[in-house]
Copies of this chain bind each other. A is one copy, B any other.
Amino acid sequence: MKQTKSIATDKKLNAPLPVVSGLRLTKQRQEVYQTLLEKRDHPTAGEVFKRVRKKLPTISLATVYNCLEALVDHRLVRQVNFERKSSRFCPNLVEHGHFQDTSTGKVYDITIKDGVDLADFINLPEGVCVQEAEINLRGAVADS
């Protein structure tokens, strides 16, 4: 029984920031990452700052920006931009798009149909190699 709660599991719960070459492990980065995992509502840097401060009251906003940048650079987090508003951050690494409800501003992940490839629906010019693809939708949600 005790065995079922393995160290590995604990690590996964409390320190899930993967060890990646070139990314030094700091408590700020771990907490920022943990915060993104805990509530996947696509928070802005300012929102992440507010949440992380509950655990690390002395963290600075610049550090939150630094951490988010490091996580994005190392492909552990995706940065989502809608219309030059504040960037939002998303720990979902599965290829997906985003939908923003124009009345609430809330952002939701949109999954892509299985087996669909970019080249299936857009005309890519010769010789281009797509490194990042962003699909951002905005619209209304029927209130139910």
Contacts and interface: CB of A to CB of B under 8 A. Distances in A.
B140 A123 contact: no
- Count of identical protomers in the assembly: 2
Main secondary structure of the interface of A (DSSP, over half): strand
A134 B136 contact: yes
Contact of A102 (B84, B108, B116, B131): B131
B135 A139 contact: no
A125 to B, nearest CB: 7
Interface residues of A, number: 40
B132 A139 contact: yes
A137 B79 CA distance: 14
A127 B143 CA distance: 8
Interface in A63-82: 79, 81
A84 B134 CA distance: 13
A93 interface: no
B139 A127 contact: no
A102 B132 CA distance: 10
B122 A120 contact: no
A97 interface: yes
Contacts of A87: 84
